[in-house]
């Protein structure tokens, strides 16, 4: 795989809300509020250097807030955490690119990762500047990601991952048994929302109508570990990890919802034992009346082999690659 730092970074865009947040009067006010980890002085330097711009050109830091204004900027990091780059192209045509990504590789820029992302790597590999993921996959999760190759057909293919589409996603999850025996098969229904105190975490809210649903089916057990085939029926952030943890089945190696809460982003030898293993598409309508898409894509990680690796890693108390 090529050097992830080799190519230029695609600019990010933010659209200012129709109603200005409390206390926001100028553009710099918004950026300081929106990106609290970046000092105001850093943003002022970027504005002054023309590194924040609108469609008609650079903007001033102290320019008045303009509702619905689209602003472009490039994320900048002096040093990014290392990532694994051992990805593989599973399938490709004029409209779609299906990739099997390793754990530890973010799909899109975020936090300290800018160039060290799947999107940036694929732009360098394919030369395609219109790539965009059609669904989410956590940085720590391995497996399949489907990307749009053309802006002109993106809206149509984005419907592949909306409720009711003829698409089924299957994950392999290696879980710790924290409450008795492993259930053979069940459906997990919960109400999930973002934590008020920790915006990066999701929480289960009891006694609220379910907005997240996943079907789990037992594959194998070994001691206090169990491997599950998981089929999400909805697609909320961190859904599988949150629901499995709520059911007493936290994913092995999960630093947010599991039994081990420490995670060093520099350490690529440990992993979250969750793999986006399969995507089955049955007659999805293509744009322009072309022949419907039917396909079955799988990651390179056989569920039984993945479970054996996880069990061996857990036995040595190190959830490794």
Residues with catalytic function:
138
Residue entry with tokens 């800018």: 114
Please give the Cα distance from 40 to 84 (Å, whole number): 32
Please give the Cα distance from 10 to 189 (Å, whole number): 38
Residue 177: what are its φ and ψ, rounded to 5°? -90, 105
User: If residue 107 lies in a helix (H) or strand (E), which one and from where to where?
Assistant: none
- Buried-state track 52-89, b at ≥16 Cβ within 10 A, e below 16: bbeeeeebebeeebeeebebbbebeeeebbebbbebee
Residue entry with tokens 């929302």: 193
**What six digits make up the tokens of 182?**
């492993």
Contacts 24+ apart (CB under 8 A), 230-234: 230/170, 230/171, 230/172, 230/173, 231/168, 231/169, 231/170, 231/171, 232/169, 232/171, 234/163
């Amino acid at each position: 795989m090529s050097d992830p730092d080799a190519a230029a970074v695609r600019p990010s865009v933010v659209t200012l809300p129709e109603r200005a947040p409390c206390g926001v009067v100028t553009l710099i006010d918004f950026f300081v509020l929106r990106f609290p980890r970046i000092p105001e002085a850093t943003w002022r330097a970027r504005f002054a250097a023309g590194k924040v711009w609108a469609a008609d050109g650079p903007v001033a830091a102290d320019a008045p807030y303009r509702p619905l204004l689209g602003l472009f900027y490039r994320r900048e990091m002096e040093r990014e955490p290392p990532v694994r780059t051992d990805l593989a192209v599973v399938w490709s045509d004029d409209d779609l690119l299906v990739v099997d990504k390793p754990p530890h590789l973010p799909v899109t820029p975020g936090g300290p990762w800018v160039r060290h992302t799947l999107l940036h790597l694929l732009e360098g590999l394919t030369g395609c500047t219109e790539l965009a993921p059609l669904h989410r996959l956590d940085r720590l999760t391995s497996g399949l990601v489907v990307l749009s190759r053309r802006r002109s057909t993106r809206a149509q293919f984005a419907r592949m991952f909306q409720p009711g589409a003829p698409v089924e996603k299957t994950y392999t999850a290696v879980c710790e048994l924290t409450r008795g025996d492993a259930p053979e098969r069940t459906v997990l229904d919960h109400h999930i929302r973002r934590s008020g105190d920790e915006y990066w975490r999701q929480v289960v809210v009891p006694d609220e109508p379910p907005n997240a649903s996943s079907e789990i089916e037992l594959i194998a057990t070994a001691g206090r570990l169990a491997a599950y085939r998981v089929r999400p029926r909805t697609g909320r952030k961190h859904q599988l990890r949150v629901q499995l943890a709520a059911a007493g089945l936290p994913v092995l190696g999960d630093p947010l919802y599991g039994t081990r809460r420490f995670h060093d982003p520099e350490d690529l030898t440990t992993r979250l034992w969750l793999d986006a293993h399969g995507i089955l598409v049955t007659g999805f309508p293509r744009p322009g009346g072309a022949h419907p898409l039917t396909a079955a894509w799988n990651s390179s990680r056989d569920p039984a082999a993945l479970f054996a690796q996880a069990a061996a890693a857990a036995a040595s108390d190190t959830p490794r690659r």
